[in-house]
Structure 1
C-alpha cells in the first residue's frame, strides 16, 4: 500500500509480506528496503494486534490494539502514553463505525472531562491532511464531536468504485494539533490499517 497526501506523490509504503491479512510494516520511504517506522502483527485468531513503534531509547515499544466483537458493532481499542514532558499521560482511543464504509477514532473520555470543552479547545481546522472534508456519510452533526459526545480525533473512509486506492485517512480536532505526539500519530495510522485489514 502506498501512503500519500491527497493529489501528491506517495511518501511511504506499507508492505504486507503474507498478503492482505498478514503482518504489516510501515516504511520510511517507497520501498520495502527503507527503514521500518512501525509494524503491526495480528494474533493467531486476529483477536488483537501488536503494534511496534519507535521509542526514545532507540529500540521499539509495543502497544496493543484490542478487538472485541459485539452483536451490533465491533470495537477496536488501544491505550498509550501521549504528549511530551510534564504533559505525558495515558489516554484511551477507540475506532468506531461511522456511516457506511467509514470509521472514526474517538478519544475515550475521562468521566470528569467535559467532551464539548475538550473539542472546542482544539483548533477548528488545524493541520488537516486535506482541506476538503472527507465524506463518510455520517450523521454525527458536528465535525469533531460524535453524537455520543466523544471527541473525534481521526476518520477513515473506504474508497468506493476506485480501484487505485483503498481509502482516505484524516486527523481531526486534537488529533490534528500534534498534542498527542508523533508516536501516537503512527499508532493511529497503523491501527486504522489493522481495522481495514480486519
Structure 2
C-alpha cells in the first residue's frame, strides 16, 4: 500500500534525516487530534512548540532548528530528542515535506511539495496521492486565507486559513468527448453537467485559526473538518494537512516579524 511515489534520501546536514523516515505502528496509532492547539515553549526566540488537544497533555513537539526562516520537524513525542516523525525543508517559497513510512501497515515513506503563491491572492498549494475507493489518485489541495464576522462581538472578526480539497488534477487533453465536442477540440472546458468521467469536489477539510489574544501560550489552533476527520483520505494526508498548516503558520510569522520572503 504505497501512497506516494517518492522515496529519496533527504540530505546530509545534522538537522535532516539521512534516510527515509519510518515510524512504528504504535506511534502511528497515537494519531493526530481532530482539534489541537499549538502551544508555545519557554521562548519564541528559540521556537519549540507542542501539539495538544484542548485541555489535554502535549502529544507531539515541533522544532525549528534553524529558527523561524528554516526547516520544521514534527517529533513523535513531546520532546525534541530522537528521530523525527515528519520533516519539512523550506527553500525559495517551497516546502518539501517528508512523510514517514509505517512498514508494519504497508505504508511506505514519501514526500510532497507545498508551494507558496501570490499571483492573485496569497495561498499555499500541494498535491498528494490519497485514498479513492479501493485505489489511490493524485488530488490537489489549497490553503486559503479567510476572515469572517465573529458573532460574539459587534464588529469583531476572526481570521485564519482554510484547507480546500479541490479534487483530482484535470488534463483537458485526455478528456473523453462529450456531446458537441469532438476528440480534437481541446480549447473549451466541458459543460458543468459533464463531470462523471472526471469527478471533482471542493470541500473545506481543515482550518487553521490565529492564536488567542487572551492566551499568549496558544500560538494557533488546527481543526480537521468533513472528510478530514475520517480515515477516508489516508494517513499520509492526515499528517500532510497538519504539517502543511504548521509550515504555513511558521512562514507567516517569519514574514511578519523576521523579514522572510
With the length of structure 1 as denominator, give the TM-score of the two structures.
0.74
The CA RMSD measured in Å over matched residues stands at 2.1
Aligned residue pairs, count: 161
Partner of 2:117: 68
2:99 and 2:111 in contact (8 A); partners too: yes
Q: Specify which of 71, 88, 95 is matched with residue 49 of structure 1.
A: 95
Partner of 1:136: none
Partner of 2:159: 101
User: Once the 2 structures are TM-superposed, how far is the Cα of residue 183 of structure 1 from its aligned partner?
Assistant: 1.1
Where does the alignment leave 5 or more consecutive residues of structure 2 unmatched? 1-48, 148-157, 171-194, 252-261
Deviations 1:77-121 (A, max 9, x none): 111111278231111110001214301000013572364xxxxxx
With the length of structure 2 as denominator, give the TM-score of the two structures.
0.57
Structure-to-structure mapping, 1:150-161, within 5 angstroms: 150-161=202-213
Structure-to-structure mapping, 1:92-131, within 5 angstroms: 92-99=140-147, 100-110=158-168, 112=195, 113=199, 115=201
Distance verdict in 2 for CA 1:69–1:7, change over 3 Å: same
CA distance in 2, matches of 1:101, 1:196: 13
Partner of 1:186: 239
Q: Please say if 1:91 is aligned against 2:146.
A: no
CA distance in 1, matches of 2:114, 2:243: 10
Runs (4+) of structure 1 exceeding 6 A deviation are: none
Deviations 1:129-171 (A, max 9, x none): xxxxxxxxxxxxxxxxxxxxx3100001011312101111010
Q: Specify which of 112, 129, 140 is matched with residue 81 of structure 1.
A: 129
1:3 and 1:14 in contact (8 A); partners too: yes
1:29 and 1:35 in contact (8 A); partners too: no
CA distance in 2, matches of 1:2, 1:20: 16
Partner of 2:228: 175
Bigger radius of gyration, 1 or 2?
Answer: 2
Partner of 2:76: 28
DSSP-derived class of the 1:184 partner: helix
User: Once the 2 structures are TM-superposed, how far is the Cα of residue 177 of structure 1 from its aligned partner?
Assistant: 1.1
Farther-moved stretch of structure 1 (150-159 vs 94-103): 94-103
1:156 and 1:168 in contact (8 A); partners too: yes
DSSP-derived class of the 1:7 partner: coil
Deviations 1:5-32 (A, max 9, x none): 1110110001111112211110100111
User: Once the 2 structures are TM-superposed, how far is the Cα of residue 59 of structure 1 from its aligned partner?
Assistant: 6.5
